[in-house]
Amino acid sequence: MTDGPHCLARHSLTRLARAACLLAVVLATACRADDIVAIGSGQHLQVAVGERFDVLLRAAALGSYQAPPTISAPVIEFLEETLVDESPITPPGGPLQRFRFRATATGTAIITFTPTQIGPAASDTVVVVR
């Protein structure tokens, strides 16, 4: 079956997927332009010593995450936590928090984010290279 509405829907999804990938590449390139990298919860990141990076988290029903987070090794430094302005529309899932860090030495660290209310913690693994 190559004709009909199923074929059109598949082509539209493919265009949408391509557009989403292109947007992701553009945003990733833009983030790297100022040496700030954003990663999401449960992901792995490799950064160079001296590089700054962000972790973006939305706690939803958990309220928010505590700052500073727990860092397993002294290879990264916590710099600050801020709320991301998502104007004009704030999503119903709660505030988006930005945790900013700097890589200070080579090694591996696990960053653990604890919610302010009872719920599961989020963690990210960061590998710092020269």
Where the chain has pLDDT below 70, the residues are 1-42, 61-62
Helices (H) and strands (E) in the chain, counts: 1, 8
pLDDT value at position 38?
A: 54
pLDDT value at position 91?
A: 73
pLDDT value at position 93?
A: 73
- CA geometry: angle at 31 spanning 64 and 34, to 5°? 110
Q: Look up the pTM and report it.
A: 0.67
